[in-house]
A and B are shown apart, each in its own frame.
Chain A
Amino acid sequence: MPLAKQPPAKKEIDATEAALKLMADLLFKPLDGNDMQSRHGRFSTAKIAESFIKPSKTLSSFERLEIYNRQYWYRMLDCIWEDFPGVLAILGKDKFVQLAEAYLVAFPSNTFALQDLGENLPAFIKDNPHLSAPFSRMAYETALVEWADIKALTAAAYDPPLPEFAPKILSGQMQLKLQPHLSLFSLHYAIDDFLVEYKKDLPLHLVSNAAIEKTRTSKKRTTPNPKRNYLMVHRIGSDVYFTPASRSEYYTLTPLLAGTTLEEACAYAYSRLRGCERQALAESLNQSFTEWTRKKLLYCPEL
């Protein structure tokens, strides 16, 4: 049977589509406290609601629309709240909600997957430092690691290369890639210790279809300690790990993430390292390779 045609894109907006677009515009407007905003541009929201929504025996058109407006914001804010508990701990509830609202206005969800909602938050924090000042850098680094944690949970994992392929890989005959679940960071704060400690007692993250206002409780405000460090976020089996990396590991693996060959990656690392570190890199490459393979951080696309 031939595939049904994709319904054609309409040139003119009919009344049905216009109603959907108007409703969406109103839903995406942030709440005023716990209520729907009373104005939409220079118009009264209640008047606009009356123009396309029937009142019920118990609720006005505005109140009926407000149910959906609240549901939208409760659901989106809960999602960001639960995905970035570390950023919340740093900023505190009020500042975090301000940041999340501004983020959701700038980056409403553009995919079916709710788990992708926070994808642009790290970059948003970096580009809008006033929203997290004076903790912008630590909030940014924490958001990076928290997003990497979420990504690692459901990213693909491929079988690592067998040891017999090592010579071919080292000689550049076979391409080597880092697993899609792995992220690497150069950080100024001990985000790993901070998140592990902070998330110890947090409740299990559950997403429900019906979003109602929940009492959002957050633990006491706290911040990560300053510490220059390199961190790998990756998965082994179904568990996500924060693994400290050495400088040489960081500078070798980062170019591999960008798609270079192992030889190019080593050359890059060599150029970035100091004298004694260069010596160590040369001596430990085989050992590092074995360790990366043991942790299943690498794979060969050809295999």
Chain B
Amino acid sequence: MPAEQKSAGTFFMDRYFFWNDLVPPNRFNGMTDLGIGIGLRIPHYEHILTKKPKLDWFEIISENYMIDGGRPLEVLDAVLADYPVVQHGVSLYFGSTDPYDRTHLKKLKALVNRTKTPFVTDHLCWGSTDGRFTHDLLPIPYTSKAVKNTAERIKYVRDFIEKPICVENISSYLEFNISELTEWQFLSEVAEQADCGILLDVNNVFVAASNHGFDPFEYLDKIPHERIGQIHIAGHTDMETYKLDTHDHPVCDSVWSLYERTIELIGPTNTLLEWDDNIPSFDEVHKEALKANIYIRRITDAFSKATAS
């Protein structure tokens, strides 16, 4: 019987066992229960270093700190002294077919050793071919060959850096004629074959669902929940004929609905708000992120009532 058709009591009892057994923490997020974080961004450096605001955790873009010296590393070290930090990358391109450059991976591993990140995340995408880099997160054709190639690359990186990996679903604006699987089937297959975690970006689910015409709630129901190690929330821009993942707005209600549904399915999980352009003050970004607590509380309260009755 689908979860939606069960009585509230039965549904939450199922969830209870699931939450307790699987999330959080789990082996894909380094057994962490971090709470609600935001991305570490340059305009907030001064505020963070001088005010040391109360915050559960920061996510960093790994590539911004895979350098040899200078202010970014000084700031990072100061942040590491006060906050947990998780590394999020934009250049591992698990779906590309070029062999990995070991110098790149060595730099990533050096940063992993510096930050002590409990797990590493990057995107389910490709972005380079024949040694040329697009610096974009490009969609992969959802074929069984691509599943195999992607899973092999995830395993290779995980073994190299010796940290669990969670792959993030991306926002996309095109689909390939040769795709044999739906996006959630592809994500699930890759995660299973690589035995890795999932960083579920509910804004990306919403953007992709709008652009490709699938049901985002079906997507959430079909992916392997026990592999979700973290959730991303973010804002996007409506371009009239498609939606663009811009990370320059507050989170919209539709995305919050997907977030709430995800919490319902997997329990409260490491959550992070991404805000990368037109960045407002630290307090404003943090306040937007903490809205997640409204949905977490709504679900946990309903769960408590159901189990009490």
Q: Which of A's residues lie within 8 Å of B, judged by CB?
A: 1-7, 9-10, 14-17, 19-21, 23-24, 27-28, 51-54, 56-59, 61, 63-65, 67-68, 71-72, 75-76, 108-115, 152-157, 180-181, 204, 206, 208-212, 235, 238
Cα of A203 to Cα of B212 in the assembled complex, Å: 37
Cα of A152 to Cα of B67 in the assembled complex, Å: 11
* The one of B71, B174, B179, B248 that contacts A65, using a Cβ cutoff of 8 Å: B174
Cα of A181 to Cα of B71 in the assembled complex, Å: 13
Q: A3-B159, A58-B242, A212-B246 are in contact. Are A110 and B43 (CB under 8 A)?
A: no
B residues 125-139 in Cβ contact with A at 8 Å: 126, 129-138
Quick check: is B301 within 8 A (CB to CB) of the other chain? no
Residues of B within 8 A of A52 (CB): 176-178
Distance from A111 Cβ to chain B, minimum over Cβ atoms (Å): 7
Distance from B132 Cβ to chain A, minimum over Cβ atoms (Å): 5
Cα of A131 to Cα of B19 in the assembled complex, Å: 62
Residues of B within 8 A of A115 (CB): 67
Cα of A110 to Cα of B132 in the assembled complex, Å: 5
* The one of A15, A67, A109 that contacts B132, using a Cβ cutoff of 8 Å: A109
Quick check: is B143 within 8 A (CB to CB) of the other chain? yes
Distance from B272 Cβ to chain A, minimum over Cβ atoms (Å): 14
Quick check: is B31 within 8 A (CB to CB) of the other chain? no
Q: In the complex, are the beta carbons of A64 and B104 less than 8 A apart?
A: no
Q: In the complex, are the beta carbons of B241 and A59 less than 8 A apart?
A: yes
Distance from B146 Cβ to chain A, minimum over Cβ atoms (Å): 5
Quick check: is B2 within 8 A (CB to CB) of the other chain? no
Q: In the complex, are the beta carbons of A208 and B74 less than 8 A apart?
A: no
Residues of A within 8 A of B241 (CB): 58-59, 63
Q: In the complex, are the beta carbons of B99 and A9 less than 8 A apart?
A: yes
Residues of A within 8 A of B74 (CB): 238
Cα of A53 to Cα of B212 in the assembled complex, Å: 12
Question: In the complex, which residue of chain B has the Cβ closest to the Cβ of A13?
Answer: B97
Q: A57-B213, A110-B133, A209-B247 are in contact. Are A16 and B277 (CB under 8 A)?
A: no
Q: In the complex, are the beta carbons of B99 and A16 less than 8 A apart?
A: no
Task: Type the 1/0 row for B62-97, where 1 means its CB is closer than 8 Å to any CB of A.
Answer: 010011111110100000000000000011000111
Q: A3-B160, A52-B177 are in contact. Are A68 and B138 (CB under 8 A)?
A: yes
Q: A52-B176, A54-B177 are in contact. Are A112 and B71 (CB under 8 A)?
A: no
Quick check: is B189 within 8 A (CB to CB) of the other chain? no
Quick check: is B24 within 8 A (CB to CB) of the other chain? no
Residues of A within 8 A of B145 (CB): 14-16
Q: In the complex, are the beta carbons of B97 and A10 less than 8 A apart?
A: yes
Q: In the complex, are the beta carbons of B175 and A206 less than 8 A apart?
A: no
Which one of A1, A28, A64 has the highest number of Cβ atoms from chain B below 10 Å of its Cβ? A64
Q: In the complex, are the beta carbons of B70 and A27 less than 8 A apart?
A: no
Residues of B within 8 A of A9 (CB): 99
Q: A17-B97, A210-B246 are in contact. Are A56 and B212 (CB under 8 A)?
A: yes
Q: Which of B's residues lie within 8 Å of A, judged by CB?
A: 41-43, 63, 66-72, 74, 90-91, 95-97, 99-101, 104, 126, 129-138, 140-141, 143, 145-146, 149, 152-153, 155-156, 158-160, 173-179, 211-213, 237, 241-242, 244-248, 276-277, 279
Residues of B within 8 A of A76 (CB): 135
Residues of A within 8 A of B173 (CB): 59, 64, 67-68
19 contacts between A and B (CB under 8 A): A16-B143, A23-B138, A24-B129, A24-B134, A54-B176, A56-B211, A64-B173, A68-B138, A68-B173, A110-B133, A113-B63, A115-B67, A152-B70, A154-B69, A157-B69, A157-B70, A206-B42, A208-B246, A210-B248
Cα of A51 to Cα of B99 in the assembled complex, Å: 27
Among all A-B residue pairs, the 3 with the closest Cβ atoms: A238-B71, A112-B91, A156-B68
Q: In the complex, are the beta carbons of A181 and B69 less than 8 A apart?
A: yes
Residues of A within 8 A of B130 (CB): 21, 24
Residues of B within 8 A of A5 (CB): 156
Q: In the complex, are the beta carbons of A112 and B68 less than 8 A apart?
A: no
Q: In the complex, are the beta carbons of B246 and A4 less than 8 A apart?
A: no
Question: In the complex, which residue of chain B has the Cβ closest to the Cβ of A113?
Answer: B63
Q: In the complex, are the beta carbons of B68 and A4 less than 8 A apart?
A: no
Q: In the complex, are the beta carbons of B152 and A7 less than 8 A apart?
A: yes
Q: In the complex, are the beta carbons of B68 and A20 less than 8 A apart?
A: no
Question: In the complex, which residue of chain A has the Cβ closest to the Cβ of B146?
Answer: A16
Cα of A238 to Cα of B134 in the assembled complex, Å: 30
Q: In the complex, are the beta carbons of A113 and B66 less than 8 A apart?
A: yes
**Sample of 14 more A-B contacts, CB < 8 Å, known A7-B149, A157-B69:** A7-B99, A9-B99, A16-B97, A21-B130, A53-B174, A54-B179, A56-B213, A57-B213, A109-B133, A154-B68, A156-B68, A206-B279, A208-B276, A212-B244
Cα of A109 to Cα of B247 in the assembled complex, Å: 24
